[in-house]
Structure 1
């Protein structure tokens, strides 16, 4: 399986040696996912977006973390690995992280549902990348160019782990303007999409999301449990939903007799 006809990038990543000031180093050691530009005291002169940043401790010259360099953001390095163990940043590394994220979400399938957020950005070690599954359609939202050099292998792993039949790419405003790729917002990069409005089930309740034109990935799957909770709290009550995008909270309330 290859996405190379769709996913092309002019970025060729290399390795960077990075040293931080005391405050920045402390944040990385404690597991913070971001390194701001004013924390960097030493780095290669020709650092470019997507390069692998190897962060060394200031005194012992020990690797304390790995991240991806972003030349266009004040969050200059987005961390992808804390250096408790040595790893190679390759397709197998990303596959393992995606499989781990999926395993954490297996509990979500204990209710009648076929929609879930597979990758929660920084929380799963993928800063600036969100992956949502609607039925058998996977929607990947990119917020940073750092992922462009690695996207082909990441998409393969996402498809293999989620068993999705279709993959749709969504881009942030900045990525839409980027000259470093040929991806279009809403482009189907794997499989076929019969209808841009995808029907799915969330805790026995039927919904739909426009995965091509909808906000973000088409729906707010990160609020799945909140909507179920509100539904239960709303049983036999009168409910006013004053902030609604897709009616999720209202529909769950209605389904519980509100």
Structure 2
């Protein structure tokens, strides 16, 4: 091959290699971008979440979803969702929806809030069947929607529910819930409250030793009221962990009573009444 053609040939090969390498780098960079860069987020894959969004354009600003990056036990994974909001009468979070997209039953819970909450932050524990994407959607009083997504890794499936004995209740009542809250609150400031109910949250998806399906038995509703006014009203689903635990906030201006209600799908209930004394 003549020298000129040989040099041209080398230059062409170098150009191809250079452009090819650049192409590979560009491709790698695109793969590294979050799903939103492709115009498709995880929430768009689920009918329930698309129905909540209902044609609106969600934003990722002003909402935080926090889960451990790695969980050794998927049966009980701590989750916190918080939304930036003054929680005033004309600017507040109306609802927070939680979904685990890789679970056999994706819904976790929907928490409907009022300005009485004072702070839009919820902590609970969830079951995760596998490593997957968890989605939080917040509906605001102005009609906007916020979305947050996290993808925690799970070492042991949350479907492997521990065998425990649950009792202390009758056919129409449940065990007394545990409640922890400040003895005194600052008037008008959000106060933290933690409540837990001893309950199996049986999903209806497991089988016993004889291969028979264990009937579903879940807490399907939680409600908190301050002097008859709703603070939070929650619809709970099978993806909530056993011994359901809810940490939330409420705001009181004067002395009163905080009423908590847990309700099972059988109709059985558990109640707690707590005196509130803002200082």
TM-score bucket (shorter structure): under 0.3
Higher helix fraction: Structure 1 or Structure 2?
A: 1
Q: Tell me the TM-score normalised to structure 2 length.
A: 0.22
Name the structure with the higher strand share: 2
TM-score, structure 1 as length reference: 0.23
Q: Which has the higher contact order (CA 8 A, sep 6+)?
A: 2
